[in-house]
Structure 1
Amino acid sequence: MDLNQLFKVQEIIENNIKQFTDIKEDTLGKENVFDLRFLALQVKTGEIANLTKCYKYFKVKENIPKEKLMIRYIDALKFLLSIGNVHHFNVINGEAINSIEKENSIIKLFSYIFDDIKDLKHAILQDDYVLSLSIYVRLFARFINLGELLGFSFQEVYNYYVEQA
């Protein structure tokens, strides 16, 4: 599991975006950019839940095209990686990720992911790097677990992400 490469690719993507846009982060304000990344991660994760309709107990799951689901998943992953780069969590590795217990319920997993996003934001604002890193590892592991429950192997996600970059 080569997480380091994913973080590097995301950094390159963001640097390219910054070069081609007129909007500077300083103009938006650091607090706004901070909140924007977390909100974007929440929204993109919510889009995955909405696509799966897993929260609608009375609805039969439709066959969701794998490509469509992968695109939504990668969109959220980009913001998760971005947060990792900005806050120096890009030191995590596969061993740390694999040490986190997996969840079999997609509904619980979405709930845990949203809780982790909120907890991570709070820990970063408290300037507690060790706690923040611990929460980030758990969040990242849960996000990979989500991909698996959606039918994606880490290698598939990795390959798709690198190809689309």
Structure 2
Amino acid sequence: MNLQKLFELQRHLDERIIREKGLGEEELIPKKIMAFLIELGELANELPEIFKFWSNKKNNYEKALVEYVDGLHFLLSIGLEQGVLYQCMTIHPIKQATVFEQFAAIYLYASAYWAHGYSRLFNAYIGLGEMLGFTWEQIEKAYMQKNTVNHQRQESGY
């Protein structure tokens, strides 16, 4: 995955949103963390076999990838706002024993963001993508597609 490319695409989207919505002075990290947590929940909902013991519904990995990329948008945006030096960033996926435990760890890292920091949250999220069987190529392609959609949404006043 070309992290620098994804961060740059996210920077352009963030700058556009901030400019067009007049958000120049607003502190957005808490809102971005909340949005990330919501996307994480939407991702989990596409993987009912992980936690919905009462349901016979099967995991939908195609929709899960879309939700994963939605979360990645917010995660990249948080990193940009924090001034993360993404040009020198290396990926070291953090993985728990099970996907359920991975979700729990990510919720913990995001909820206590200031204590755990960006790197731990980012690497745990990358680890989740790997645990779900997503390849770097799939993630990058899906990110690019969703980034285009997000720009179109801005054009239409979303």
Q: TM-score with structure 2 length normalisation?
A: 0.79
Q: Residues of 2 paired with 1:139 and 1:62: CA distance?
A: 27
Q: How many angstroms does 1:34 deviate by?
A: 2.7
Task: Give the structure 1 partner of residue 16 of structure 2.
Answer: 16
Task: Give the structure 1 partner of residue 74 of structure 2.
Answer: 79
Q: How many angstroms does 1:38 deviate by?
A: 1.0
Residue 93, structure 1, aligned to residue 89, structure 2: yes
Task: Give the structure 1 partner of residue 99 of structure 2.
Answer: 106
What runs of 5+ residues in structure 1 fail to find an aligned partner?
Answer: 124-131
- 1:155–1:104 distance in 2 versus 1, CA, 3 Å: farther
Verify the 8 A CA contact 2:46 2:59 in the aligned structure 1. Answer: no
Aligned length: 145
Runs of 4+ in structure 1 deviating by more than 6 angstroms, as ranges, are none
Percent identity between matched residues is 28
* Aligned with 1:118 (options 108, 111, 126): 111
Secondary structure, aligned partner of 1:44: helix
Deviation sequence 1:131-164 (CA, Å, 0-9, x none): x6xx311211111111122221122101221344
RMSD: 2.2
Q: Residues of 2 paired with 1:106 and 1:61: CA distance?
A: 17
Verify the 8 A CA contact 2:70 2:146 in the aligned structure 1. Answer: no
Letter in 2 for 1:24: G
Task: Give the structure 1 partner of residue 31 of structure 2.
Answer: 36
* Aligned with 1:46 (options 41, 45, 65): 41
- 1:90–1:160 distance in 2 versus 1, CA, 3 Å: farther
Verify the 8 A CA contact 1:109 1:146 in the aligned structure 2. Answer: yes
Residue 57, structure 1, aligned to residue 53, structure 2: yes
What runs of 5+ residues in structure 2 fail to find an aligned partner?
Answer: 148-158
Task: Give the structure 2 partner of residue 127 of structure 1.
Answer: none
Task: Give the structure 2 partner of residue 25 of structure 1.
Answer: 23
* Aligned with 1:155 (options 108, 116, 137): 137
Q: TM-score with structure 1 length normalisation?
A: 0.76
